[in-house]
Amino acid sequence: MADGIDSRPRLTGCGTALVTPFAGNGDLDEAALRAFVNWQIGEGVHFLVPCGSTGEAATMSLEEHRRVVEITVEEANGRVPIVAGAGSNDTQKAIALSKEMKTAGATHLLHTSPMYNKPPQRGIIAHYLAIADAIDLPIVVYNVPARTGSNVEAATTLELAKHDNIVAVKEASGNLAQITEIIRNRPTGFSVLSGDDPLTVAVMAEGGDGVISVTSNVVPRLVAQLTECMALGDLVQARDLSHRLAPWTIGAFVESNPIPSKAALALMGKMQNVLRLPLVPLADSHAAMLRSSLEAVGALAAR
């Protein structure tokens, strides 16, 4: 930051962690993806996050990964930022994928902390700094211990926030005290985004900037409105929206994400209920609960 002036782009509001539509043969369903991106933007989401864990990026080829981002960028056509997933537990692969995502047109990059390797905090710092030094797109740190097996501590995030290219954190630790510590001590212009839909109101009440949401795949307008109310300090309306969303906020995680979201979007006619192994379709035992949660939030008409 030159002369104390922070010119880093700021991510705020609701960003949808996009599911990836697949056709019946398992290939990318480009037509469904194009329609889905336009619907999301039309419903008022503030940015889009393709090729994260919700998007099943772990089972995509590099060519598919790039194509999903290219299509998302094309259909967004500059209307919203595109935060492309580019994470890897191999730092050099993460750098290479970041360069591919820049060429595909992404405006930002989402980088999960390295999974499986379980580096110490100084290793996590070295990983992110190597990426940030190698690519000139703004980076969102993604802390999701339940998937990676290690936590990015508050002090680590705050150290990373000093780098001009590291502009935000998606915090999915579920540790509100840790998230609040980051909010209190972050540099100006560094965004703190909830990575857990149930904690969006709490994180924003503490001064956070929004959410990278799973539930907004199904109810984008309601989640976007929730973040807008919180940004305006309208806690009463935000609480009402949160309570209205609660059945689907629970239903969206009745099995591993994105299994419930894919089932819900199939019921809504947005895409086919096709996942890639090792993910499998929603268990029949959850079908009634899923439908009732969608009816409760107005995503499906009551039968």
Residue 248 belongs to some domain of the structure: no
Q: Cα-atom radius of gyration of the chain, to the nearest Å?
A: 18
To the nearest whole percent, how much of the chain has pLDDT over 90?
A: 94
Q: Has 99 been annotated as catalytic?
A: no
Per the structure block, which two tokens stand in for 292? Answer: 């009732």
Structural domain span for residue 223? 10-231
Tell me the three state secondary structure of residue 25.
coil
Reported as a single tens digit per residue, the pLDDT across 125-164 is 999 999 999 999 999 999 999 999 999 999 999 999 999 9
Residue 250 belongs to some domain of the structure: no
Q: How many domains does the chain have?
A: 1
Q: Is the pLDDT of residue 227 over 50?
A: yes
Residue 255 belongs to some domain of the structure: no
Residue 262 belongs to some domain of the structure: no
Instruction: Report pLDDT for 46.
Output: 98
Residue 140 belongs to some domain of the structure: yes
Reported as a single tens digit per residue, the pLDDT across 170-183 is 999 999 999 999 99
Residue 31 belongs to some domain of the structure: yes
Q: Which member of 99, 102, 116, 142 is catalytic?
A: 142
Q: Has 118 been annotated as catalytic?
A: no
The domain that holds 166 is classified in CATH as 3.20.20.70
CA distances from 127 to 39, 57, 144 (A): 36, 20, 16
For residue 101, give the amino acid letter. M
Instruction: Report pLDDT for 6.
Output: 46
Per the structure block, which two tokens stand in for 271? Answer: 């895409």
- Measure CA 75 to chain center: 18
Residue 296 belongs to some domain of the structure: no
Closest Cα to residue 122, out of 159, 169, 168?
Answer: 159
Residue 26 belongs to some domain of the structure: yes
